[in-house]
Structure 1
Amino acid sequence: MRPFPPKRSSAPPASSASSCCPVFAGSAVLYCATCDQSLCSRCVIKGTHQDHQLKDLKDAVRDEVKKLHKLSDDLRSRERKFGDLTPRIEAAERELEEMCSRTQETLQQEFHTLQTLIEQNRQQAFFILNAQKQTIKQQLYQLLEDTQNYHSKSTVMIENIKQLRSKEESENPASLLGEINAIETSLHTMNEFYSSVEKKLKVDDTRLKALENSIKKIVEKNKELLPRPWEFLENITLDESKTPKYVQISEGKTEMIVCPPDDLSHTACSSWINVQASQSFSKGLHYWEVYVGGCEIWQVGVVEQRQSKGPQSPALSQEKSSWVLECDSDELSALHSNNFSRVKESNVQTLGVFLDYDKGRLKFYNVNTGCIMYSFIAKFKHSVYPLFSIRPQKDSIARLKICNLLDHDDRESDTTPDPETSEAVSEEGIEMTSESLNWDLV
C-alpha cells in the first residue's frame, strides 16, 4: 500500500479567463474556438488566449449553426432508421423470455444433479453404516457362540483332569503324558480366549468415526462454496436528506442522477457527491448490487457511522472509516485510510458488494463474470452504511443505480424450490449455513 496520489479532474483545464468578463460580455469582439467562449477586448488585451484559435463572432455563429444543422440531420437520420421500435422491443422481450427460460431449465438441471449426488452419497453412507453394524453384530454373536463352546469343553476337561489320578496306576505312562499334553494345550487355548473376551466385548467404532469424518469433510467443502452472496440480497435505498440541488434521487430512492447545469463550476465538477444508504448494518451477512455503467467516475463501498460531513467532501481515500472501490477513467483502485491498491480488472458494468460484518470482510465482485475483484479485511467498531459517490461529468449525465433485485413480484414464484425436493434435502441434514465469489465467501 502507498499513499493515494491526487486525482486528476476529468473536466477540461480551466484558463484564468474561463469566461468573458460580465461587464464586457455585451461588447464581445472575438470567439475563442479553443476555449469555446466569446471574448471581449479586455480578454484579448490580457493575452490569456494567445496562440488559441480565434474567430470572428459572425463566422463563429455561422459555424455553430452549421454544426447544429448537421447534428439535427444526424438525429433525423437515426430516427428514420429506427422508426417504430415497438416490434423490435417485442422481439427483444421474446428473446429475453427465451434466454431466461433456458437459464431456468439449466439451473433446475444442475440443482437436480446436485440433489441426486447428495442422495446417492447419503444412501451409500447409510449402507456402509448398516453393513458395519451387521459385521459387529456377527462378531458379538460369534463371541457368544465361542464362549458357550469353550464353557462346554472346560466342563469336560475338568472331569478328565479328575480321572487322571485313577489312571496313573492302571495305564501306560507314555499314553498318559500324551493325554496330559493335549489337555494342557486346550487349557492354554481357553485361557487365551477368556483373556481376549473383554477386548472383544468393546465395540470398535473406528470405522464409524471414519465415516463421520468423511461426511463432515463433504459438509465443510459445501460450506466453502455455500451460501452464495445473492442469498443475502438487501433492499438498499439512498438517503436523500443531504444532496446538492443538481443531484436528483429517483422516486424509489435507488438511483442518483447528476445532470450538471451549464454554469456548473470547475470546483463542483471536481467535488465528490457522497450519498449514504438509509440502511445500516451492525452484524450478519449482506449483499447488494450497483449498476455503475452510467458514470465514468464513482466510488462504492461502506462507511462507519459518523457525524455528517455534508454531501460534498474530499475523496474517500482520506477517510479512515470508509472502505471503497473507485473507478476513475477505467482505472480501478481499492481505497482506505489514504491508502490505495490498484485493481487489475476493468470494464465493470454491475458491481456486487458482499459484507460479512462479524468477520470483518468486504468483497467486491464483477457481477457479469462472478469474479472477486478485491477483498478488504477490516475491524468494524460501529454500524456501517453502504456508500455511493460520483463526480459530475461536465458534458454528460452521470447515473449510479442500486439494483434492488428483491423488488420483482415474480421472485417468489420463479425461485421457490419444489416442496418435495426441499423436504428431501432437509431430511438429509446437509448443512447450508455460511462460513462466508467464482463467488467464494471464505
Structure 2
Amino acid sequence: MDESSSPESPESNASNRAGMCNGHEKPWVLYCRDSKEALCATRLTDCQQHRHGYETLEKGCKFEIEGVKKRVKKLKFILKKQVNTKAQVTKAKADIEDTFNLAEETVTEYYRELQELIDQNMQQAFLLIQAQRDSTIQAMDQLLLDGEEQQQKSKQILETVEQLKKRQNTDFSVTLLDIKSLESEIEDIEDYHRNIVEIIDFDKKRLKALGESIAKIVQRNREMLPKPWEFGENVVFDDKTSHGSLKIFGNKTKIQHASSKFPHKQHSMKQEETWANILASQSFTEGRHYWEVRVKDTESWTVGVVEKGWVKKGIQQALGQDKLSWALQMDGDSLAALHNDETIMIREGEIEQLGVFLDVKKGRLQFYNVHSGSVLHTFGAKFKNVYPAFSIDAQNGKVSQMRLCPLMPLGLNRDVMTDEGWRMSSDSGIGKIIHNPNEVTEENITSSTLQNTTSPVHSDGSSESISLSH
C-alpha cells in the first residue's frame, strides 16, 4: 500500500479535529464559563446549557490561561517543598524500618508469651504426673516396710488365740478385753491387705483426666490455628488475561482502570462499561492458599476465584454469575457474595483490605476483612483447578485501582520455606528463619532477604498487622 492511500496518523487526525466538538464534529463557537469548555452550536441548544454564562473563544482562552497560571503557582509551591526529597525519603525509610521492626518485636513478644504459657502449662502437668508417680511409689515402698510388721503381728495373734483356747480361769472380763484387743489388731492386718490391693491397682482416672484436659487444649488450638496467613503467597496479575481497560503496574501487583482518567471513553459492550476482569498468574489444584487484595482505592470491585472451564469460555464474563465462579462484590456501599447467579447480601463496615483463603482439599473458600479480622463469607464447593479473579469499575473524578499485597519476602516462596534447607531458630526468640547453605544455594535467595526474613508479619506499605480469627 502506498503512502497516498495509507490512513492518517493519530497526530494528523487530532490536528484536523482541532477546534471541533468531539461529540458532534462541529466547530466551536462559544466558551461556557460554568462547564469550562468550548461548545459547538448543537451543544448551545442543549437544555442543560441554557442557563450557563458564555464568552467568546478568545475570552475563554484567557480564562483558561489564568486557571493554568494559578495551578502552576501552586505547583511551584509544591515543588519548593519537595526540594529536599532525598532527605525526606531517607527519613521516611528510617521511619518505615522503625515501624516494621516494632511490628516484628510486638509479634515476637506475643509468640514468646504464648510459648511461656504453653511451657508453664506443660511444666505443671509434668509436676502433677511426677507427684502422682512419687506418691504411688512411696506408698508401695511403705507397703514393703509395713509388711514385715504385719507378719509379726499375725504370728502374735495366732499365739494369743492359742493361749485363749488353753485358758482355764474364770476371769471372763479379762478374756473379753483380750479378745477386743485381738480384734483391733486383726482389723489393722485386714486394712493392710486392703491397701495392698488399692495401691498396687491404683486409680488411673486422675491421669486420664489430665490427658483429656491437655487434649482439649490441643483441640482448641486446632480450632484457632492455623491462621490463613500461614499459607500466604505473593499472587501477581496475569497480563495475558487483562481486560483492555486495565493498566498493570508495580511488578504486576497493581491494576488501574484506564477509564478513571478518561471517563469520556465509550465501550460497546455492557460488560466493558461496568466490570473489567483480570486473573492471577497462579492456579491451584491442591493445598491451602491465602492472598490479600487492597481494595481501598476503588468503590466497586469484585474478588473471587474461577474454574479453568470458566476461563475457557472467556474472561469477559461477569464473576459469580455461573457455577464456575465464586466472588465477593462491593458496589458502592453494597456488599454481596455471588455464585451461580445467586446473591447473598452481607452487612459489613468499611473494607480496605480483603483476605482470600482457599482450602482445595476441604472445598472451602473464605473471605476476610483483614483489618477487623472478621469472616465475611464462606463458600463450600468442590474445587478442581481455580484461578484468583478480580474486577474493578471506573470512577468519575477518582482513579480506580486495586493492589495485590505482599505476604512473603521478595525472592522467597513457600516451597523454599518448607524445604529441609530451612529451619526455625529457637535461639533468638520465635519465628526467625535460619538458612542452611548446604541445602539451599545462594541463588535461591539474596542476602538482603535473609536479613529481613521473619515469621509471617503482614505488610502492605502500612504499619498495621493482621489479626485473623476463624
With normalisation by structure 1, the TM-score equals: 0.76
Instruction: Tell me, in whole angstroms, the C-alpha distance in 2 between the residues paired with 1:295 and 1:342.
Output: 18
Q: From the superposition, tell whether residues 366 and 188 of structure 1 become closer, same or farther in structure 2 (CA, over 3 Å).
A: closer
Consecutive unaligned residues in structure 1, runs of 5 or more: 1-18, 426-436
Consecutive unaligned residues in structure 2, runs of 5 or more: 1-19, 433-465
- Give the corresponding residue for 2:193: 194
Q: Deviations over 1:293-351 (max 9, x none)?
A: 3333211122334232323223x3423443322222344333334213133211x3322
3-state SS of 1:275 partner: strand
Q: From the superposition, tell whether residues 342 and 170 of structure 1 become closer, same or farther in structure 2 (CA, over 3 Å).
A: closer
2:227–2:468 CA contact under 8 A, matched in 1: yes
- Give the corresponding residue for 1:78: 75
User: Does residue 1:335 correspond to 2:335, yes or no?
Assistant: no
1:372–1:438 CA contact under 8 A, matched in 2: no
- Give the corresponding residue for 1:388: 390
Shift of 1:374: 0.5
Shift of 1:161: 2.5
Shift of 1:233: 0.7
Instruction: Tell me, in whole angstroms, the C-alpha distance in 1 between the residues paired with 2:430 and 2:49.
Output: 76
Shift of 1:292: 1.9
Shift of 1:389: 0.8
- Give the corresponding residue for 2:441: none
1:33-48 superposed matches below 5 A: 38-39=39-40
Shift of 1:439: 0.9
Q: Deviations over 1:214-261 (max 9, x none)?
A: 333333343344333322111212233333334333473322233135
Q: From the superposition, tell whether residues 60 and 301 of structure 1 become closer, same or farther in structure 2 (CA, over 3 Å).
A: farther
User: Does residue 1:344 correspond to 2:373, yes or no?
Assistant: no
Q: Deviations over 1:8-33 (max 9, x none)?
A: xxxxxxxxxxx9798x6245667787
Q: From the superposition, tell whether residues 254 and 207 of structure 1 become closer, same or farther in structure 2 (CA, over 3 Å).
A: same
3-state SS of 2:256 partner: strand
Q: From the superposition, tell whether residues 424 and 213 of structure 1 become closer, same or farther in structure 2 (CA, over 3 Å).
A: farther
Q: From the superposition, tell whether residues 109 and 203 of structure 1 become closer, same or farther in structure 2 (CA, over 3 Å).
A: same
What is the Cα-based RMSD across aligned positions, in Å?
Answer: 3.9
Instruction: Tell me, in whole angstroms, the C-alpha distance in 1 between the residues paired with 2:250 and 2:469.
Output: 34
Q: Deviations over 1:25-49 (max 9, x none)?
A: 24566778779785455x77xx7x3
Q: From the superposition, tell whether residues 142 and 124 of structure 1 become closer, same or farther in structure 2 (CA, over 3 Å).
A: same
Shift of 1:135: 1.2
1:30–1:54 CA contact under 8 A, matched in 2: no
User: Does residue 1:295 correspond to 2:292, yes or no?
Assistant: no
Instruction: Tell me, in whole angstroms, the C-alpha distance in 2 between the residues paired with 1:359 and 1:142.
Output: 57
Q: From the superposition, tell whether residues 359 and 69 of structure 1 become closer, same or farther in structure 2 (CA, over 3 Å).
A: farther
User: Does residue 1:419 correspond to 2:417, yes or no?
Assistant: no
Shift of 1:185: 4.3
Instruction: Tell me, in whole angstroms, the C-alpha distance in 1 between the residues paired with 2:166 and 2:431.
Output: 76
Shift of 1:360: 4.2
- Give the corresponding residue for 2:141: 141
- Give the corresponding residue for 2:98: 98
1:25–1:40 CA contact under 8 A, matched in 2: no
Shift of 1:88: 1.9
With normalisation by structure 2, the TM-score equals: 0.72
2:242–2:279 CA contact under 8 A, matched in 1: no
1:26-425 superposed matches below 5 A: 26=26, 38-39=39-40, 49-53=46-50, 59=56, 62-63=59-60, 66-67=63-64, 69-71=66-68, 73-81=70-78, 82-84=81-83, 85-167=85-167, 169=168, 172-195=171-194, 197-250=196-249, 252-260=251-259, 263-265=265-267, 267=270, 270-308=273-311, 309-314=313-318, 316-337=319-340, 338-346=342-350, 348-367=351-370, 369-372=371-374, 374-393=376-395, 396-408=398-410, 418-420=425-427
3-state SS of 2:306 partner: strand
User: Residue type matched to 1:439 in 2?
Assistant: L
Q: From the superposition, tell whether residues 243 and 397 of structure 1 become closer, same or farther in structure 2 (CA, over 3 Å).
A: same
Q: How many residues align?
A: 402
Instruction: Tell me, in whole angstroms, the C-alpha distance in 1 between the residues paired with 2:307 and 2:88.
Output: 47
Q: From the superposition, tell whether residues 278 and 137 of structure 1 become closer, same or farther in structure 2 (CA, over 3 Å).
A: same
Q: From the superposition, tell whether residues 208 and 162 of structure 1 become closer, same or farther in structure 2 (CA, over 3 Å).
A: same
3-state SS of 2:289 partner: strand
Shift of 1:133: 1.3
Instruction: Tell me, in whole angstroms, the C-alpha distance in 1 between the residues paired with 2:70 and 2:423.
Output: 52
Q: From the superposition, tell whether residues 172 and 154 of structure 1 become closer, same or farther in structure 2 (CA, over 3 Å).
A: same
| Structure with bigger RCO (C-alpha 8 Å, 6+ apart) | 1
2:29–2:57 CA contact under 8 A, matched in 1: no
Shift of 1:405: 3.0
User: Residue type matched to 1:92 in 2?
Assistant: A
Q: Mean Cα displacement is larger for which, 122-131 or 57-66?
A: 57-66
User: Residue type matched to 1:130 in 2?
Assistant: Q
Q: Deviations over 1:89-147 (max 9, x none)?
A: 22222222222233333333333333333333332222222122111112222233333
Instruction: Tell me, in whole angstroms, the C-alpha distance in 1 between the residues paired with 2:158 and 2:119.
Output: 58
What is the aligned-residue identity percentage?
29
2:111–2:430 CA contact under 8 A, matched in 1: no
2:295–2:403 CA contact under 8 A, matched in 1: yes
Instruction: Tell me, in whole angstroms, the C-alpha distance in 2 between the residues paired with 1:60 and 1:192.
Output: 119
Q: Deviations over 1:343-377 (max 9, x none)?
A: 3211x33222223344444333333x342151214
Instruction: Tell me, in whole angstroms, the C-alpha distance in 2 between the residues paired with 1:329 and 1:51.
Output: 27
Q: From the superposition, tell whether residues 35 and 183 of structure 1 become closer, same or farther in structure 2 (CA, over 3 Å).
A: same
